[in-house]
Amino acid sequence: MSVKLLTYEKLAQCETLVMGVFSDVREVPVGLPKSMEGLIARVREIGDVTGKADEVHVLYPEEKGSCRLILCGLGEMKKWSLPNVRKALGLGAKRAQALKSKEVAVWLETFAGESGNLAEVAQAAAMVGLLALYQYQELKTFLKPEDKTTAPKLFLASRNPEACAKAVDWGEIIAEAANYARTLANRPGNKVYPQILANEARLLARQYSNLAVSVLTQPQLGKAGFGALTAVGSGSSHSPVLIEIKYHGDKPKAAPIALVGKGITFDSGGICLKPSAKMEDMKFDMCGAAAVLGIFKAVAKLKLPINLVGIIPAAENLPSGTACRPGDVVTSLSGQTIEILNTDAEGRLILADALTYALRHKPSQILDMATLTGAVVVALGHAAIGMAGNDDTLAAEIHAAGEESGERVWRMPLWDEYRDLLKSDVADLANIGSKPGAGTIVGAAFLEKFVGQTPWVHLDIAGTAYGDGGSVYAKGATGVGVRLVVEWLRKKLAFSSL
């Protein structure tokens, strides 16, 4: 699916036109056929359309050949904000899709108002439109054509399309990368296991010449000392792998940024078996890995001037006669011994080895993404990513990128009181805390043991990686992390997309 720019003279020719409406602006935008202008003026005058945020109205002009109108409320223009615009665009696009529109045009100026942020709106419209119209249906082979949801063609209309072109391209690339990550995560566990995930990374590298992929298999992992990763994968017939992906956009000797993504392709909990209710959602336990691949897809296409290395530890966490047990002690790649008190706290184990391996690349910074804890949902719900780290500057950069991208983060403390909870009687540390509570922070404190002095941020995406659908996303994976990290890199490089 792609986005095309139109001049505003052609916007009324599309089947469905999406417009923004402000609650404190009564004037109807000039440029529509008279019948449409009159209809909008009439519903505004009688109060059926107020322009309040989250309002969505569908209008049908009587004039033959007129397009369907979807009016999206934006609230007061004097309180204009990009998050409000993104939400309104998502609601409008989803309504158009529900109406089975074949073509959708978004009139950009009506969402920008007097803000002067036309390029930002164009980028948001391209990105949000593609995210909102995404559907995962590749396994629905018996749907009748009339029942299958097909994404409409997306057009962005503006009086000045040339000024929006670069921003639209940027938004389209990021959205396509996020949707790629969503597709990987939406596939069930029998379709994506560690070896398949490795093949996806290889396929991505074949598509982009500036990417390179290597994979460490079970024998290599065992020989090299990846004791934590191999322990987690020991109960499955699909052996674990470590995927390494590199992007070179800067000088060869420039230190890379390391991105580490948790790749548990299915998490049953292992011997500490999870309850059966909602266990099918544990196919999403590799959303961190999917996000890393999505980020590399975007960066490779954007050709950003930076060096990146991605590390994805991939395993299935299943119970069997060969699975690791509560009470087992394993030796991680770092040499630290870990007492496994709960086999369902497996993500931090595979990340421990992956973070240690990332240090071998001497990165300037490390960022890891993982559906690590259910506790983050208790703390933050589904509105924000839980963040912890050892570097205030890096954490502030990620927070700022979250506000800009719409994938917001909230930092949690890493104090000695939490670190002390990881003490073990028989090993260097335990994989869960000795007392209940603060599960997200304790998980981050565990990971901190494996990054040394390198600036590091941990993102717990368990509450934001998938859901039941919202103003932008369909039910399933969200691709969270792709927009956030690409925006962080853009700001770091002072690279303008507008």
The residues carrying an active-site annotation are 274, 348
Residue with tokens 């011997």: 271
Query: How far is 11 from 58, CA to CA, in rounded Å?
Result: 16
Q: How far is CA 96 from CA 16, 89, 200, in A?
A: 7, 11, 32
- Cα–Cα distance measured from residue 182 to residue 132, given in angstroms and rounded to the nearest whole number: 12
Task: Please state the separation of Cα 344 from the chain's center in Å.
Answer: 23
Maximum CA extent, the chain: 80
- DSSP assignment of 416-454: HHHHGGG--SSSSEESS-SSSS-HHHHHHHHHHTTSTTS
Contact 240, 322 (CB under 8 A): no
- E strands along 22-152, which residues? 56-59, 68-73, 103-107
Rounded to the nearest angstrom, the gap between the alpha carbon of residue 151 and the centroid of all alpha carbons in its chain is: 20
Structure token digits, residue 242: 């470590």
The torsion region of residue 303 among left (phi > 0), alpha (psi -120 to 50) and beta comes to left
Which residues make beta-bridge pairs with 104?
Answer: 16, 154
- Report the alpha-carbon distance of residue 91 to residue 106 in Å, rounded: 12
* Rounded (5°) CA angle 423-427-430: 45
CA distance 153 to 150: 9
Q: What are phi and psi of 243, to 5 degrees?
A: -100, 130
Phi-psi region of 469 (alpha: psi -120 to 50; beta: other; left: phi over 0): left
